[in-house]
A and B are shown apart, each in its own frame.
Chain A
Amino acid sequence: MRAGECVASLVALALAVGLAGSAGAETVVRVGSKSFTESYVVAEIAAQAIEAAGHARVERRVGLGGTGIAYRAVAHGSVDFYPEYTGTISRAILKDPAVESVEAIREGLRPYGLTISGPLGFENTYALAVRAADARRLGLERISDLARHPELTAAFTSGFLERDDGWPGLRRHYGLALASVRTIEHALAYQALASGTVDVIDIFSTDGRLTGADVRVLRDDRHFFPVYAAVFLARTDFVEQHPRAWAAMTQAAVGRIDGATMTRLNALADLDGRTTRQVAARFLGREITDADERARLVRELGTLTVQHLGLVVAAVVLAVLAGVPLGILAVRSVKLGQAELMAVGVLQTIPALALLCFMIPFLGIGTLPALVALFLYALLPIVRGTATGLATLDRQLLEIAGVFGLTGWRRLARIELPLASVSILAGVKTAAIWTVGTATLAAFIGGGGYGTLIVRGLALDDVTTILAGAIPAALMALVFHGVFELVDRLLVPRGLRLVMARPR
């Protein structure tokens, strides 16, 4: 089967790209991070420290989309360690806010096969910030002062809005009521505050933007926010099996990054436009030039293009191989068809990030779960296109085929599929162009592709990096559009195109 081999090699390509280098004799350390500046920077410091020690090659699986994904990636073994905060570990993983000390947390993590390093030196707690002018005008100094100003509006990051140690708990603790509370991306919050769109935002106490912004951080006068001391969260077997790598990174970072240092490093990345690699290198006493970084970005774009294309092509090809038969099946039996279309429809409504998150325990992170998710998302338009195309065929044309003995599979192949080809291809085309866009989400679980740059750019508030990912993705969508014009010419029978071209 030529088609089968073709798919197999595509899948292999996608996997090979994703797992490149993870095979081989040399030691590989996989460093993770979440998708905000500080996490990128601290992970990069550890990565460069390990590289400098020279015992292992480092693979960066950075920019993971949230605690759930990053923690599961470590637990599953897709990532060896990533920077985390004690407060987050006790609440999100151990589910016991009372566990606060490093020793207690380490003890609590033991059953999970996880451990933490010593504290890096800085704490990053949530805090609330208002415009400095408002603070002066309204006399805002402490969080409890907000209770006197219910007319203020707020925008909080989704994590803060939902976590019990975020807004819900804070509101109860201080008895606060604000005029409106919206969700906002962390990277956009300072702009929204500065422009007057909102009056209160949540920030991190080590935000680099604090050094430049004209804001007032409100004092947590009733001590609501727990301690968020930065540590490395690692798998115990990694620490045991790679003592030299672990020693290199802990020597470089543990106890050596105080709050002022971290705020400065964040500012270098967020405000001065330094790359995380440059910031980490400076902390470790080295220098990486802008020219180096530009050349690196170009090389990276090449790699990301191959990854993105591999993901899209493999996902769509698999979705065609599964979706067209499913569409055929859906038309054969009304009940089955309804159940099937409902199932693929429901799949579509699962938020991409949630779907990716669900799959980590089974598939880990990286290319494979991204491919599975993209495949599932690509199914709907293809199944629907096939089913609709077949269901709306001229009944008389099918009857005639029956009269001269063309039935079953032969009628399907000779008559039904060619006649439905326009609708089927329209579904495939929608799926492909959709997938080019959706594939950018793969970055949240270390699946690579253009999303890597978009996620990083968003975290660092760096428009150039965002565009470096977004523009090629848009171009790729255009290319796919063009390719499908050609595919239409090849696969839609000439006689059908004549019918479509005829004026009505």
Chain B
Amino acid sequence: MITVRHVSKRFGGAVALDDVSLDAAPGTTHVLLGSSGSGKSTLLRIVLGLLAPDTGEVRIDGVIVTPEARESLVGRVGYVVQEGGLYPHLTVRGNVSLPAQALRWPPARTTERVRALADLTGFDEAMLRRYPAELSGGQRQRVGLMRALVLDPPLLLLDEPLGALDPIVRADLQGELRRLFDALGKTVLLVTHDVREAVLFGATITLLRAGRVVQQGTFADLAQKPAEPFVTEFLGAQAPPPELREYF
């Protein structure tokens, strides 16, 4: 359960977030939608305790998140970033094991957990020995996901997880992630600029513009009852042009 209440954040003179509130209910996926500069990544970093809000608060399972108390989040939050955020000097196994090693798990337990995750994402033993530089973009993203899941956290935060992938790989992985989220029952907070991704993942969507919440609700809410013209504009900008629409 993630609750964000009246969070504001400025960087110098620029407003990054302006009175943002949202709830991500347990076991659901909540999508932060917006173009670049809308403040969605800043919000995610505040939820992670990497940044402190100027005003307002973030609670995870009722406990206030602050940079000072970030350690209490270790093991409860998985974090996936664009391109995977993998350590180039570690193998796939090394990357995936790292959070477990940080918590000093017994090696046998780590090995067992990595094997289970590899089965889930279709990595064999040879792939586990590869370095990030030897993987495709989609494979790197899967490794990033495995690493986020290794401690089996109830919360999963994803920052543009599919942003750097080509369209076909992206479509494949979207489906895979969707199935995975459903199967694992995680509370997911996902940042994206892609409307179709929001439709695919999002039970609830928060549309941000210039640090402010424009509208919250399901895709149907946003499409049929837009709070302001910007909502329709944003959704429409990414829709296929009319002459191609019949192909979709």
**Chain B contact surface mostly:** mixed
User: Number of contacting residues on A, CB 8 A?
Assistant: 23
| B85: A residues at CB distance < 8 A | 396-397, 400
Assuming the A-B contacts A494-B131, A499-B133, A502-B133, are A405 and B89 also in contact, with contact meaning beta carbons closer than 8 angstroms in the complex?
A: no
B187 CB to nearest chain A CB (Å): 16
Are B133 and A419 interface neighbours, CB within 8 A? no
Given contacts A419-B87, A499-B88, contact A404 B98 (CB under 8 A): yes
State whether A403 touches B89 (Cβ < 8 A).
Answer: no
Chain A residues near B99: list those with CB within 8 A: 404-406
A403-B79, A419-B89, A493-B89 known; A498+B133 contact, CB < 8 A: yes
Closest residue of chain B to A417, judged by CB? B89
B131 in contact with A405 (CB, 8 Å): no
Supplied contacts A396-B85, A493-B90, 6 more A-B pairs, CB within 8 Å: A397-B87, A402-B70, A403-B73, A404-B99, A419-B87, A421-B89
**Closest CB-CB distance, A422 to chain B, in whole Å?**
10
**Are B134 and A498 in contact, with the CB atoms below 8 A?**
yes
Residues in B neighbouring A403, C-beta threshold 8 A? 48, 50, 70, 73-74, 77, 79
B71 contacts chain A at the CB level, 8 A cutoff: yes
Cβ–Cβ < 8 Å partners of A406 in chain B: 98-99, 102
Question: Which residues of chain B are within 8 angstroms of A399 by Cβ–Cβ distance?
Answer: 50
In angstroms, how far is the closest chain A Cβ from the Cβ of B98? 7
Chain A residues near B101 (CB, 8 Å)? 414
**Would you call A404 and B151 a contact (CB within 8 A)?**
yes
Could you say which of A405, A415, A496 contacts B103, with CB atoms under 8 Å apart?
A405
- CB-defined contacts of A494 to chain B, threshold 8 Å: 131
* Given the contacts A403-B50, A404-B74, A495 and B88 also touching, CB distance less than 8 Å: yes
What interface size band does chain B fall in?
A: 20 to 34
23 A-B pairs with CB atoms under 8 Å apart are: A396-B85, A401-B102, A402-B50, A402-B70, A403-B70, A403-B74, A404-B75, A404-B79, A404-B151, A405-B103, A406-B99, A418-B89, A419-B87, A419-B89, A494-B131, A495-B91, A495-B132, A496-B88, A498-B131, A498-B133, A499-B88, A499-B132, A502-B133
Instruction: Check if A163 is an interface residue, CB within 8 A of chain B.
Output: no
Question: Closest approach, in angstroms, between the C-beta of A31 and any C-beta of chain B?
Answer: 55
Task: Give the complex CA separation of A494 and B103 in angstroms.
Answer: 25
Q: A35 to nearest B CB, angstroms?
A: 50
Asked whether B81 is an interface residue with its Cβ less than 8 Å from the other chain, the reply is yes
- Report A408-459 residues with CB < 8 Å from chain B CB: 410, 414-415, 418-419, 421
Beta-carbon nearest neighbor of B103 in chain A: A405
Residue among B73, B102, B134 facing the most chain A CB atoms (10 A cut-off): B102
CB <8 Å contact, B102 and A410: yes
Complex contacts, A415 vs chain B, CB 8 Å: 87
Q: For residue B74, which residues in chain A have a CB less than 8 angstroms away from its CB?
A: 403-405
**Chain B residues within 8 Å of A, Cβ to Cβ:** 48, 50, 70-71, 73-75, 77, 79, 81, 85, 87-91, 98-99, 101-103, 131-134, 147, 151
CA distance A46 to B89 in the complex (A): 63
The answer to whether B131 touches A404 (Cβ under 8 A) is: no
Closest to A400 in B: B85
Q: Inside 8 A of A421's CB, which chain B residues have their CB?
A: 89
- Is A405's CB under 8 angstroms from B102's CB? yes
Q: Which chain A residues in 381-411 approach chain B with CB under 8 Å?
A: 396-397, 399-406, 410
Most buried by A among B70, B91, B131, B147: B131
Which residue of chain B is the closest to A414 with respect to CB atoms? B98
A495-B151 in contact (CB<8A): no
How far is B104's CA from A414's CA once the two chains are assembled, in angstroms? 13
- Whole-angstrom CA separation of A405 from B50 in the bound complex: 12
What residue in chain A is nearest B79 (Cβ atoms)?
A403
The smallest C-beta distance from A421 to any residue of chain B, in angstroms, reads: 8
How many angstroms from the CA of A403 to the CA of B99 in the assembled complex? Answer: 9
Q: Which of B70, B71, B89 gathers most chain A CB within 10 Å?
A: B89
* Cα–Cα, bound, A496→B75 (Å): 28
Look across to chain A and name the residue whose beta carbon is closest to the beta carbon of B84: A400
Q: Compute how far the CA of A397 lies from the CA of B134 in the bound complex, rounded to whole angstroms.
A: 18
Contact A495 B89 (CB under 8 A): yes
Write out the residue numbers on chain A whose beta carbons fall within 8 Å of the beta carbon of B75: 404-405
Question: Contact: A496 with B89, CB < 8 Å?
Answer: yes
Q: Once the chains bind, are B133 and A400 in contact (CB under 8 Å)?
A: no
Instruction: Specify the chain B residue showing the minimal Cβ separation from A496.
Output: B89
The answer on a CB contact under 8 Å between A495 and B90 is yes
In chain A, what residue has the closest Cβ to B153? A404
**Complex CA–CA separation, A403 to B74 (angstroms):** 6
A502: chain B residues at CB < 8 Å are 133
Q: Can you name the residue of chain B whose Cβ is closest to the Cβ of A410? A: B102
Closest to B144 in A: A400
Known: A400-B79, A403-B48, A403-B79. Contact between A419 and B102, CB under 8 A?
A: no
The 7 A-B pairs with the shortest beta carbon distances in the complex, nearest first, are A495-B131, A493-B89, A405-B74, A404-B99, A498-B133, A406-B102, A418-B89
Residue of B nearest to A421 (CB): B89
Assembly CA distance A400 to B103 (angstroms): 14
Shortest distance between the CB of A393 and any CB in chain B (Å): 11
Q: How far is the CA of A415 from the CA of B90 in the complex (A)?
A: 9
A419 to B89, CA, bound (A): 7
Chain A residues whose CB sits within 8 angstroms of the CB of B70 once the complex forms: 402-403
In the complex formed, the residue of A with least CB distance to B75 is: A405
Least distance between B91 CB and chain A CB atoms (Å) = 7
Given contacts A418-B89, A496-B88, contact A404 B134 (CB under 8 A): no
A406 to B90, CA, bound (A): 15
A193-221 with Cβ < 8 A to chain B: none
Residues in chain A near residue B90, CB distance under 8 A: 493, 495
Q: Judge whether A419 and B88 touch: CB under 8 Å.
A: yes
Q: How far is the CB of B129 from chain A (nearest CB, A)?
A: 11
Cross-chain contact B133 with A495 (CB below 8 angstroms):
yes
A residues near B98, Cβ cutoff 8 Å: 401, 404, 406, 414
With most chain B CB atoms within 10 A of its CB, the pick from A418, A494, A495 is A495
Complex interface: chain B residues within 8 A of A414 (CB): 98, 101
Question: In the complex the two chains form, what is the Cα distance from A216 to B50 in whole Å?
Answer: 81
Closest to B134 in A: A498
Chain B residues with CB under 8 A of A499: 88, 132-133
